[in-house]
A = this chain, B = another copy of it.
């Protein structure tokens, strides 16, 4: 089995994050449980500064750099939340950050990245083209690349949220039967499985992708990487169109199953998350819930952990969801 990080990497990342972040709550809601017919534990990563779990990834990476790398600065490609996390971390640690986003990216994420003092480069038609722009800047300007997925430090950072979930569930007297996790590049899910395999290997982890951006799902089903022409989903945080070297084999080996959800299912999950928890969710942030609904009867009566992974939905998208 090829596994990109160890549990010790997560523990080490957790120690580095400790001075900067407060554990986010793990909560349950009687109204959500009643709607789904199972007991749902919601991890509130929307409470993070930057409103997304990716702050963990950014901080885990920047706190581990060599002094020379810190001085030159870092570059990343993102649809927003990874960039926001890095920009926030760079702001706190005084490390120069350059963020590459595709043209037409979520304007509120762009503004917030700039507001944190990062340099924003808008180029390319989607995430995977922004990655090429990033690679060009690495070559031409000597910046340290912080890939949103293909970076062990990033995956270890994402793993810290599942470490928190297990600790908090124990304190609450909850016994988790399953976890359902959105898959964009795979940092959240592979981070989760790294922790679960060490601490609670009996818990199955289910992956969820958008039907409009199903590259990793399709690759997982065929057990070999495929690349799609486009990624078409309003859940911009998971709008990828290929597999990633560091996470694909782990997803193949580790996921109990993988499902896809339609745009309408994601929209309904956003509305249900808001209605039952009264917390805002972006599309990708409600995908764990959408996947749980899709898994339906298979998880009836179980205690299931999901991650409200982010709430950076823009005004127009939210308006469309309520239209």
Q: Interface of A with B (CB < 8 Å)?
A: 22, 25, 27, 29-31, 34, 44, 46-47, 49, 51, 108, 111-112, 114-116, 271, 274-280, 282, 311-315, 318-319, 322-323
Contacts and interface: CB of A to CB of B under 8 A. Distances in A.
Nearest to A313: B278
B275 A315 contact: yes
A25 B49 contact: yes
A288 to B, nearest CB: 18
A313 B271 CA distance: 12
Contacts of A311: 278-280
A274 B278 contact: no
A31 B108 contact: yes
Count of chain copies: 2
Nearest to A22: B22
Contact of A30 (B51, B116, B313, B322): B116
Contact of A323 (B22, B30, B114, B322): B322
16 contacts: A25-B47, A25-B49, A30-B115, A31-B108, A31-B111, A51-B278, A51-B279, A271-B315, A274-B280, A275-B314, A278-B280, A278-B282, A278-B313, A280-B280, A280-B311, A323-B323
Contacts of A29: 112, 115
Contacts of A277: 51
A30 B280 contact: no
A292 to B, nearest CB: 19
* Leading 8 A-B pairs by shortest Cβ distance: A30-B115, A280-B280, A319-B322, A322-B322, A51-B278, A275-B315, A278-B311, A278-B312
A181 to B, nearest CB: 21
A30 B111 contact: yes
A122 B27 CA distance: 27
Nearest to A285: B278
